[in-house]
Structure formats: C-alpha cells, structure tokens
Chains A and B, each alone.
Chain A
Amino acid sequence: MKYCFSLFMIMAINLSLYSQKILLEKDVTKAYKNIKGQNTKSFGHLFVNYGLIIDPSDGSDIEIKMPNSRLGAFGYRHKFKVSGFYSFGFELGMRFSHYQIKQTEDKVFPNPVIHDKEKIKIYSGSLGLYNRFNFGKRGNSIGKYIDLGGYASYNFNRVHYTTDDVSDEVAPGADVYAKKRVVKNSGLEYIEPFDLGLFGRAGINNFAVIVNYRLTDLFKSSYNWSELPALSIGIELGLLK
C-alpha cells in the first residue's frame, strides 16, 4: 500500500519537462526503506574457492603429490538470517578435485604402470547446506563467522589422465613426432557417482579459510584399493556486493 502511495505521489507531483535534460533526480521517499545487504534477512552472493588436498601419509597404498593435488569450487550461496548470532543457508556450485598420483615402485592404483604424471580428475555438481554462527558486532556486513555444513555432490565427469615423455620412442622416419603422450580414460567405473561430505569455513567478510572432509568412499566397494585423501584446506573469496 505504501509503495502504491509513493508511486501515486511521484506521478501526481509530476511535471512536464520541456526539452530539458535531467542530470540528477532523487526520490527521497524511499530513503532508508527496503534496505538490502549482507546482514539482512536474506542475502545471496557468488563465491569461488581453491584448496589443497592433504595427504595424511597414513601408509595407504595410494599416495598423492602435494601441493599438486587440489580442489576448487565456484557457485552461488544464499543465507537466511535468524538472529545476529545464527543464520543458515544453502549453496549450489560446481566442484573439481584433482589427485596427482605419486609414481612409486609399489604403486597399485589404478594399475602398477609407472608414468611421468598420473592424475584422477573429478568434476561434480554440488548442493550444500550450512549453519552460520556470527561473532562480534557488525553492521550491514557479513562480519566474522564460522560455517559448519554438509554437501552432496554428483560426480558427472570422472577422468584418469596419464602423461609420458615419448620423445625417445618415435621411430626414425615416422611422419609424426611428439614429445609427450597424454592418455585420457573417462567414465571411470571404479569411482562412485555420489559423494557426501562435511565442510567448515571461518571467515571475515569476503575472505574465508575453508576445510572440506569427504565422508563417503570414493571407490566402489568392489575395488580393493584404500581411499584417496578425504581432507582439503583452502581459501575462499566471496563476491559480495
């Protein structure tokens, strides 16, 4: 009703301008009303994060290279404020996980063949739900917070890459010369299509430290490998307006 009145008033105040150019025009009846922002009832923003997968070196038969193994995501996050201390929300995003496999003599995953480089890349669509706990006085800003939540993701693209130096293997007189051979195996059957995990963030306004922990097994139970590392730590940039 108030809006209708304001609109009516502005139209009613109205005037006809001759061929003049309006350089600046402000309707003050809306000032300090309908305030939007980072610390209002509902707020959404884009985010991007990047982290390193941490190998606990726990004697597993799969070892990964650090810091070459990494994890990242981008997406949209929405927050619903319940009180100054507590909010909850959801996030939708795309994630990637790259595991670079160490090439050791006793390597078994996914086979014993030694390559120059070997990677497992997993691309997922993910939905997360989180609880947010805010600390300290703040105005219309995100402020200091801790998020604790969980995610479910669908691994829509699961790829195994190997890279080898083949410059010595080219036969004399062959038409094609190459220094590297990259082999890509996609649609990996041994990787589960769904993941569940926990995440946590500690942040101040745009920036946060993030931790992800995968709860479910990455490999199907019919394969007898130990698991790839479940923990990653990284940083996040919130694209706040």
Chain B
Amino acid sequence: MSYFNFTFRVISAVIFLSSLFQDVLSQEKYWVFFNDKKDCSLDPYTYFDPKAIERRLKFGIPLVSETDLPLNSRYVSEVEKACGKIISSSRWMNAVTVNLSKDNFNALNRMDFVREIQPVAKYKNYSLCDYHEEKLSNGELELLKKQVQRMGASHFEEKDINGRGIRIAVFDGGFPDVDNHSCFEHIRKDGRIISTYDFVKDRENVYSASTHGTMVLSCIAGIHNGQGMGLATGAEFLLARTEQKSEPFSEEENWLAAMEWADKNGADIISSSLGYTHHRYFPGEMDGKSSLVVKAATIAAKKGILVVNAMGNEGSKRWEFLGTPADADSIISVGGINPDTDYHISFSSYGPTADMRPKPNVTAYGRVIAAKKTGVAQVEGTSFSTPLVAGFAACIMQLNPDMDNMQIFRLIEQSGHLYPYYDYAHGYGIPQAGFFFKDSIIKQVTVNFEQSGDSILVKIPENIDLESDSLSHMLFYHIENETGVLDKYAVVQVDEHNVLTFLVNPALKNKTLRVHFRGTTIEHKFISE
C-alpha cells in the first residue's frame, strides 16, 4: 500500500469515527443553583396542607423557612430564555434543571445569580425481586407472620396501634393495582390514600409502571387474608412515583421534587428505597455531606419529617458499603436480616459511613412476603426492610404524638433487640414493640466476663439453656476503639458456656469490648497501665 493511500485511509477513518461519536458530546441535564431568593415570599396557609402546618407548629419549626420560599421568578425566566424549557425546579435546593449544551453552560456560568451548575445524577432502587408462585407454601405463610411478629406486632395489636392518623409518603417506581388489589382494600375503603403524584409523567395517576412500589406499600400497610403484612395498616398515604423503572436508574430531581411535595402535603414519615453508589460516587463520599439527596433528606428531617431509607444491597458486591442518602445522620437507615438465621442477610450493605458514623440504625427482615400485581410473592432486598421499619415508626408516632421526629428516631434505635449493643451490619438490631410496653420485658443476665490474669473469658452462665432450638444461640461482640469507632465485630454461634477468651495486650489498650447475648449487653474497657 502506498504512503499516500495509507494516509488517506487514516484520515478518512478518523473523520468517520469523529462523526459517529459526536452525539456523546451532545446536551445533558444539569442542576442550575441560584445564589439567593431575593424578593420571594410565601403564604404558608395557602401553600401547605393543614397537616404540614400542624407539624410545624407542634414541633416549633418556623412556618416558612428559606427553603420553603419559591424561586426568584426573574432568575428562572432568564435561565429559560438562555437555555429553553425548565424541566423541573426545587425550592429546597434553590435550583432548576435544564438541558444544557456547552454554549449554554458557559452562558449560565457568567450569570451573576448562578451559584453552581452540576449534572443531574441517577439512582438505583434497592430490590432483588424474586417472584414465586401466587400460592404461598407453608414456609412462606410462616414468613408472612414472622415479618411483623419479629418486631412485636402482637403488642401493637393488643393496644390497637396501627399508625392511625400518621401520614406516610412512599417514593417508588409505580403502584400498579394499589387501586384494586385486595391487600389494600381497607386503605381504599377509608379513603386513606390522600394524594398521589407521578413525577416521571407529571400527572396524578400512579397506578401503573413498576410493581416495586406496590410491594413496598404492602410491607407498610398491606393485609393478606387477614394477616398484616406491615405494621401501619391504619396509616394514611401519599404515593409518589419518582422512578422510571424499579431496577435501572432514574433521576434525583424527581426524588427531590417528591420530598418537597411530601412536606407540602403534610407527611410525617417518608419511606424510600433508593440510593446512589458507584455510578455517581466513590465510597469515600458516603460521608453524609456530599450528595444532593443527602442534603435534601437532612432538610426534610429539619422540617420534622422522619425519613426512613434503605441501606442498599451491595453487601456481597465490590462496593460493600451503604449508598447515599442512607449516610445522612438524621435519617433512619435500614439494613436487612435473614429471616432463616435472624442475623445479617448477605446482600445488605454494611456501615459505617465514610466518616465512620455508625450505620445502619436498625434492621428488619430483608426477605418478605409482599403484594404483587395479583396476589402475593416472596421478595428480597433492603427495599422491603425499609417499609417494615417505616410502618413500625408510624406506630411509635401514634403512641407518642408529642414527640418530634428525632425523638422518635432515638426511641426506635433504643427499641432495637440488640440495644445498647450495635454493629455495622445490624445497627441496634430489629426494633421491638415490646420496648414501649415495658411490663412485658423480663431481664435476665445471660452473659458475663471472667477475668483471670491476662485473659478475659466471655462466659454464658451455667443456668442458661444452650440446648433449646427456640432460643437464640447467637452472641454478638465488637471492639470499639478510643474514638468510638468499631475496629472489629462478629457474630458467633454459641454451643458452649465458655464462648471466647481475649488475651489482654497493648493493642487492646483503651479499647472497649462489648458483648451481647439474648438481650444482655456487657462491656469491658481495657484500661491503659
């Protein structure tokens, strides 16, 4: 081949490839953040639902804060003039989303009221759908009962506590057949679906698209053949479709818009099963500060809403850690428990956060029976642990109407079956209704330390039964360092009364050993000499 011919081929190939790839550089969706809300005002009594006003007044939250104010209309119209249609807007973030080309990007950057421009991110829903046939096996029927009984449902039933009067907003990929499925008949009959909005299609009807939301809602409030599938069967609901599909990715703008909508419509609790991991972030950014959704979740908490979010299903994957916004410090992050073993289910993401704060806060079953389009099915994912805890939270709110969201948050942690023990797989354990009805709790010392010379023996007293299959054989322990962060934690199956021995040595100096067994938590501090 001649030199000329070769050169010609190279040039034509490069031109061809360049033309093929030019689409990649085309428009993308961006957030445009504004500097201020100058000259903006709001009448809270016309804007907010009475329940949102009530929440603010009850907990001393200002009726109107900066984040509630509408956007500056001049800023919005100038952006619109420069870039075309505004796709969405967020009062909380003081921002709009628009499609931007490179030229638009530069033009906006020059506007004095624009603080920042950043791409809109995508998130992932935490479900591992594993459909079974409609007719439940005996094991699955048992699971249906256990998923609420493990949290002490009978205590609530006895006192007729079912989340009555509590408004829960559920964000998901769609709620098909919630408008005619038998599991939700009691909710429809009482008119307890207060409002719905599809943020993907910009319309009110949410009863289509992904079944994931239907399954999640059933784990808060469904009833199947008289059996509660969640604990808040008496609560009222705001249903928001925020995702395109259950498994792939959708955009954070819908989630933010739904957050503001839920606040406006008087939500007491937001139950959400989404999160961002490696598609947008590095593990080190799971610090409760970096993501837009974590900021939004934190604003919601400041407005008195209890946000309950899934930890994620990355536990057995390379990522391993929680996704954001589960890293926010003021929201309840929920991990998964294996109903067969009663400890961490393998896919449930681990804590702590990147800045080493403990997460998850609590856990619930990560494999459950949930409603699907017709009938019910067994499904997996921290997506379903989350609504179980959201339902529990609604019951606690009903029980303690004068407590604000953060007080409820702490109570739920304290009700965990492991509390005050915690670790980064189980948090404080599975919330227990029995905690709120203290008469029913019988305390018995089930584990202690024996120190001899240079060793500490963790021992189960001889009078404790280690033969019975109906009692837990799991012993939890962790080593906490002097900064309050765990160095190590483990779960051990106990078959003998002498469980484990720690050899005292310089590496344990100033560290704390905590052990939990059947409701008893003991600790030993290795003091420096």
Chain A residues at the B interface, C-beta cutoff of 8 Å: 8-10, 12-29, 31-32, 35-39, 135-141, 144, 146, 148, 198, 200, 202, 205, 209, 211, 213, 215-217, 221, 230-231, 241
Known contacts: A31-B352, A198-B13, A215-B9. The answer to whether A12 contacts B491 by CB under 8 A is no
Closest to A217 in B: B1
Q: Which residues of chain B (285-344) have a CB below 8 Å from chain A?
A: 285, 318-319, 321, 341, 343-344
Choose one: A198, A209, A221, A231; the contact of B14 (CB below 8 Å).
A198
A-B contact sample (11 more), CB < 8 A, given A20-B496, A209-B20, A230-B9: A9-B507, A13-B511, A18-B496, A37-B319, A139-B276, A140-B283, A140-B319, A198-B17, A213-B13, A213-B17, A215-B6
> Do A37 and B318 touch (CB < 8 A)?
yes
Q: Which of A9, A10, A20, A138 contacts B494 (CB 8 A)?
A: A20
B463 at the interface (CB under 8 A from A): no
Which of B17, B278, B356, B503 sits near A14, CB closer than 8 Å? B503
Within the complex, what minimum Cβ distance (angstroms) separates B376 from chain A?
30
Is A12's CB under 8 angstroms from B344's CB? Answer: no
Q: How far, in Å, is A29 (CB) from chain B's closest CB?
A: 5
Whether the pair B502, A140 counts as a contact (CB closer than 8 A) is: no
In the complex formed, the residue of A with least CB distance to B497 is A18
* Residue from B9, B21, B341, B498 in contact with A18 in the complex, judged by beta carbons closer than 8 Å: B498
Q: By the criterion CB–CB under 8 Å, are B350 and A8 in contact?
A: no
> Min CB distance, B410 to chain A, in Å?
24
Cβ-defined contact, B283 with A35, below 8 A: yes
Return chain A residues, CB-CB under 8 Å to B502. Answer: 13-15
- Closest partner residue, chain A, to B494 (CB atom): A20
Q: Smallest CB-CB separation from A36: which chain B residue?
A: B318
Q: Is the CB of B488 within 8 A of A28?
A: yes
Q: Which B residues lie within 8 Å of A231 (CB)?
A: 16
Complex interface residues of chain B between 212 and 234 (CB less than 8 A to chain A)? none
Q: Are A17 and B424 in contact (CB under 8 A)?
A: no
Q: Identify which of A19, A200, A241 contacts B17 (C-beta below 8 A).
A: A200
| Contact A216 B498, beta carbon cutoff 8 Å | no
By the criterion CB–CB under 8 Å, are B16 and A32 in contact? no
Known contacts being A139-B279, A139-B285, is A15 close to B6, with CB within 8 Å?
no
A31 to B424, CA, bound (A): 11
Cα-based distance from A35 to B506 in the complex (angstroms): 29
Instruction: Write 23 A-B pairs (CB below 8 A) sorted by A numbering.
Output: A9-B487, A12-B505, A14-B503, A19-B496, A20-B499, A21-B492, A22-B493, A23-B490, A26-B488, A29-B487, A29-B488, A32-B354, A37-B282, A37-B318, A137-B119, A139-B279, A139-B282, A140-B282, A140-B283, A200-B21, A202-B24, A211-B20, A216-B1
Residues in B with CB closer than 8 Å to A26 are 350, 423-425, 488-490
A23 pairs with B487, CB closer than 8 A: no
A216 to B456, CA, bound (A): 75
Q: Which residues of A contact B425 (CB under 8 A)?
A: 24, 26
Which chain A positions have C-beta within 8 A of B45? none
**Cβ distance B288 to chain A, nearest Cβ, rounded Å:** 13
| A37 and B9 contacting across the interface, CB-CB below 8 Å | no
Chain A positions within 8 Å of B318 at CB level: 36-37, 241
Q: Determine the distance from Cα of A18 to Cα of B498 in the docked complex, in whole angstroms.
A: 7
Q: What residues of B have a CB within 8 angstroms of the CB of A200 in the complex?
A: 17, 20-21
Indicate if the CB atoms of A22 and B503 lie closer than 8 Å.
no
- How far does the alpha carbon of A141 sit from the alpha carbon of B285 in the complex, in Å? 14
Known A-B contacts A200-B20, A241-B318; A23 and B474 likewise in contact (beta carbons under 8 Å)? yes
Asked whether, in the complex, the Cβ of B17 is within 8 Å of the Cβ of A17, the reply is: no
> Measured between alpha carbons, how far is A137 from B423 in the docked complex, in Å?
33
Given A25-B490, A32-B321, A211-B16: A135 in contact with B24 (beta carbons within 8 A):
yes
Q: Is B284 a contact of A32 with CB atoms below 8 Å?
A: yes
For the complex, is B441 an interface residue (Cβ under 8 Å from A)?
no
Contact of A139 among B277, B474, B485, B496 (CB under 8 A): B277
- Check if A146 sits within 8 Å of B491, measured CB to CB: no
Please indicate the chain B residues that have their CB under 8 angstroms from the CB of A25 in the complex: 488-491
Count of A-B contacts with CB under 8 A? 165
Contact of B343 with A23 in the complex, beta carbons under 8 Å? yes
Measured as residues with beta carbon below 8 angstroms from the partner, the interface class of chain B is: 35 or more
* Interface flags, B475-493, vs A, CB<8A=1, else 0: 1000100000111111111
Of residues 224 through 255 on chain B, the ones whose CB sits less than 8 Å from some CB of chain A are: none
Partner of A10, one of B21, B354, B488: B488
CB distance from A16 to the nearest CB of B (A): 5
- Render B5-25 as a binary contact track against A, CB cut-off 8 A, 1 for contact: 010011001101100110111
Query: Which 8 residue pairs spanning A and B have beta carbons closest together?
Result: A12-B507, A200-B17, A139-B281, A213-B13, A21-B493, A140-B278, A24-B491, A25-B490
Q: Are B493 and A20 in contact (CB under 8 A)?
A: yes
Closest to B477 in A: A15
Q: Are B279 and A24 in contact (CB under 8 A)?
A: no
CB distance from A8 to the nearest CB of B (A): 7
B280 contacts the other chain (CB 8 A): yes
**Per-residue contact bits, chain B 106-149, to A (CB 8 Å; 1 contact, 0 not):** 00000000000011010000000000000000000000000000
- Nearest-neighbour CB distance to chain A for B505, whole angstroms, equals 5
Measured in the bound complex, the distance between the Cα atoms of B499 and A113 in whole Å is 84
Q: Is the CB of B491 within 8 A of A144?
A: no
B344 proximity list for chain A (CB < 8 A): 24
In the complex, are the beta carbons of A22 and B9 less than 8 A apart? no
Q: How far is the CB of B395 from chain A (nearest CB, A)?
A: 29
Contact B285 A27 (CB under 8 A): no
B295 → chain A closest CB, angstroms = 16
Q: Is the Cβ of B10 less than 8 Å from the Cβ of A32?
A: no
Task: With both chains docked as a complex, state the minimum distance between the C-beta of A54 and any C-beta of chain B, in angstroms.
Answer: 10
Q: How far is the CA of A123 from the CA of B277 in the complex (A)?
A: 40
Q: Is there an interface contact between A211 and B17, defined as CB atoms closer than 8 Å?
A: yes
Q: Which residues of B have CB within 8 Å of A20?
A: 475, 492-496, 499-500
Chain B nearest CB from A61 CB (Å) reads: 17
CB neighbours (8 Å) of A19 from chain B are 495-496
The answer to whether B508 has its CB under 8 Å from any CB of chain A is yes
Residue from A8, A12, A241 whose CB has the most chain B CB atoms within 10 Å: A12
Which B residues are in CB contact (< 8 Å) with A18?
496, 498-500
* Cβ–Cβ contact B492 & A13, under 8 A: no
Residues of B within 8 A of A29 (CB): 487-488
Chain B nearest CB from A44 CB (Å) reads: 14
> In the complex, how many angstroms separate the beta carbon of A19 from the nearest chain B beta carbon?
6
Does the CB pair A13–B508 fall under 8 Å? yes
Q: Which residues of B contact A37 (CB under 8 A)?
A: 278, 282, 318-319
In the bound assembly, the distance between CA atoms of A198 and B7 in angstroms comes to 12
